[in-house]
Structure 1
Amino acid sequence: MSEILDLAKTLERKSKQRAERSEVILENAFNEHEQHIKAALQKKRVKISNVISQDRSYAEKQSTLLKRAVLRTWIWLPITLITVLILAWGIAWGQGKLIERNWQTISEQNRTIEKLKSQGGNIQISNCDNRTCVQIDESAGAYQDGYRIPQGY
Structure 2
Amino acid sequence: MNSLLTLAKDLEQKSKAQQQTTGEMLKAAFSEHEQFVRAELNESEKKISAAILDHDRKLSSAMSQRTKGMLRMVSQTWLTIVLVSMLLVASGAGILWWQGRQMLDNDIIIREQKSTQDMLSERNNGVQLTTCGKERRRCVRGNPEAVTFGEDSSWMILAGKYT
Is this contact kept in 2: 1:124–1:135, CA < 8 A?
no
Matched, 1:121 2:114: no
Structure 2 counterparts to residues 56-67 of structure 1, below 5 A = 56-67=56-67
Residues 17-53 of structure 1, C-alpha deviations (whole Å, 9 max, x = no match): 1111110111111011111111211221222222123
83-92 vs 109-118, which moves further: 109-118
Structure with greater helix percent: 1
Matched, 1:147 2:161: no
Percent of residue pairs bearing the same amino acid type: 24
Please, what is the CA RMSD of the aligned residues? 3.4
Normalising by structure 2, what TM-score? 0.66
Distance 1:123 1:22 in 2: 136
Distance 2:12 2:25 in 1: 20
The structure-2 alpha-carbon separation of the partners of 1:125 and 1:2, relative to structure 1 and needing over 3 Å to count, comes to closer
Name structure 1 gaps, 5 residues minimum.
127-132
Matched, 1:89 2:89: yes
Name the counterpart of 2:40: 40
Is this contact kept in 2: 1:142–1:149, CA < 8 A?
no
How many residues are matched? 141
Name structure 2 gaps, 5 residues minimum.
122-127, 150-155
Normalising by structure 1, what TM-score? 0.69
Name the counterpart of 2:12: 12
Distance 2:56 2:132 in 1: 94
Higher RCO (CA-CA < 8 Å; seq separation 6+): 1
Is this contact kept in 1: 2:130–2:140, CA < 8 A?
no
